[in-house]
A and B are shown apart, each in its own frame.
Chain A
Amino acid sequence: MADKRVTIQTTRYDPDKDEKPRLQSYEIPFYDDSMVVLDALNYIKSNVDGSLSYRWSCRMGICGSCGMMVNGTPKLSCSAFVRDYWPRPILVEPLNNFPVIRDLVIDMDDFMHKLKSIKPWIIRKQEIPLGAGEHRQTNEQIDDFRQFSECINCMLCYAACPVYGLNNEFLGPAAIALARRYNLDSRDQGLKQRLPVIADNEGVWECSFVGECSVVCPKGVDPAKAIQQSKLDTTMRFVLPYGNRD
């Protein structure tokens, strides 16, 4: 194992020096079968080139910081094992469909604005004092929204979505999945506040159901399902006479 080596090709881009992003190759030791692409990048930064820039934090698929394109597919680099690609070179690029700030670091402002626009928190018409007790839910009520609450905001779904790539006004998979998460929560009463954003032209109706968002999600969330179900819900609210009731 000690003699094995792997070639990592990464995007390099310094906005002060480079006109456009370029690729740079590094041949480094493939020292351990449990080595992931993030380990390879950390090895390069520690031992070869300290100027390589990328985001990461937990290294265990929870924080959602280290999303990158690995051989053309959106992946959490902490969950992409080198052994699955070796002996071929591994191409590591910044997430598709986002502006690049530097090397593998993308500008996530657009996503953060969209996330905030759907108000991803529990909204109550009237807050109940803490002393009045907890909001109880049955297992079935939790099951309604549980899978959508697994989203870690890693933005892999946005990198996989050709609709967002063609029109970045689209609200996008993760934001809609999270909106659905709160709309399905029996404790929440904020549906009417979220509807103008979700039912907008650039909301659910922009999606043409490619479905790749659900394929690449590292947490098993199904944003495509959330979007299509939201389409059905907004339509029923429009069509049915009692649809506009809370």
Chain B
Amino acid sequence: MPANWWTRNRHYFLYIVREFTVVPIALWLLWLLVEIQRAGGGPAHYSPHGSPAFVVFSVITLLFSLYHSYTFLSLAGVIIHFKVLDRPLPSQLIVLAQFALWAVASVVVGFVLIWFAR
């Protein structure tokens, strides 16, 4: 296999993009751990890292995590085999239900974060 096998077609490329998106997400989460550790000293000693470069990196990470979540939930619909009254549920319905749960979870998490930040 040549090293550039993933450039052979669109599906390979999108697969590599999907796998690559976890790299910036992992880096961002590592930085989050550092921030949490820094915040351990109390509000008086803490100032969040907010350089323009970090904001740009955070926005890119957000886009990557949205793409990764979208592909993950779309593919999970293929995997989950669920029967109701001896009939398998259509995978589109499973995918739709997952996106709905994702939206609800995002609203709940957002609400909790804003509530504690007040």
A220 touches B (CB below 8 Å) = no
Of A37-45, A82-90, A171-179, A222-230, the stretch lying at the interface with chain B is A222-230
Q: How many B residues touch A, CB cutoff 8 Å?
A: 17
Q: Contact: B12 with A224, CB < 8 Å? A: no
Contact residues of B between 82 and 101, Cβ < 8 Å to A: 86-88
Given contacts A165-B1, A208-B19, A211-B15, contact A228 B78 (CB under 8 A): yes
The interface bits of chain B over 49-67 (1 if a CB of A lies within 8 angstroms of the residue's CB, else 0) are: 0000000000000000000
> Which B73-118 residues have a C-beta within 8 angstroms of A?
75, 78-81, 86-88
* B19: nearest chain-A partner, CB-CB: A208
Q: Are A222 and B86 in contact (CB under 8 A)?
A: no
Q: Is the CB of A222 within 8 A of B5?
A: no
> Is the Cβ of B12 less than 8 Å from the Cβ of A162?
yes
Query: Does B6 belong to the interface (CB within 8 Å)?
Result: yes
Question: Is A140 within 8 A of B87, CB to CB?
Answer: yes
Q: Is the CB of B78 within 8 A of A140?
A: no
How near does chain B come to A1, taking the closest CB pair, in angstroms?
Answer: 31
In the complex, which range does the number of interface residues on chain A fall in? Answer: 20 to 34
- Measured between C-beta atoms, what is the minimum distance from B22 to chain A in Å? 12
Chain B residues whose CB sits within 8 angstroms of the CB of A208 once the complex forms:
19
Q: Which residue of A lies closest to B91 (CB)?
A: A225
The answer to whether B45 has its CB under 8 Å from any CB of chain A is: no
- Tell me whether B78 and A162 are in contact (CB under 8 A): no
Q: How far is the CB of A223 from chain B (nearest CB, A)?
A: 11
Contact B79 A225 (CB under 8 A): yes
User: Smallest distance from the beta carbon of A77 to chain B beta carbons, Å?
Assistant: 19
Tell yes or no: B37 within 8 A of A by CB.
Answer: no
Q: How far is the CA of A65 from the CA of B61 in the complex (A)?
A: 46
- The chain B residue sitting closest to A96, CB to CB, is B1
Say how far B11's CB is from chain A's closest CB, in angstroms.
5
- B9 in the interface, Cβ–Cβ < 8 Å? yes
Interface assignment of A209: CB less than 8 Å from any CB of chain B: yes
Interface flag for A48 (CB, 8 Å): no
Q: How far apart sit A113 and B79, CA to CA, in the bound complex (Å)?
A: 27
CA distance A211 to B12 in the complex (A): 9
Q: What residues on A are CB-neighbors of B1 within 8 Å?
A: 97, 162, 165-166
Instruction: Report A106 CB to chain B, min CB distance, Å.
Output: 16
Complex contact B81–A229 (CB within 8 A): yes
Nearest CB of chain B from residue A96's CB, rounded to whole Å = 9
Residues on A with C-beta less than 8 A from B75 are 209, 211, 228
Pull 6 A–B residue pairs with CB atoms less than 8 Å apart, ordered by A: A165-B5, A208-B19, A210-B11, A211-B11, A212-B15, A232-B80
Known: A73-B9, A143-B88. 7 other contacts (CB 8 A): A72-B9, A140-B86, A140-B87, A209-B15, A211-B11, A228-B75, A232-B80
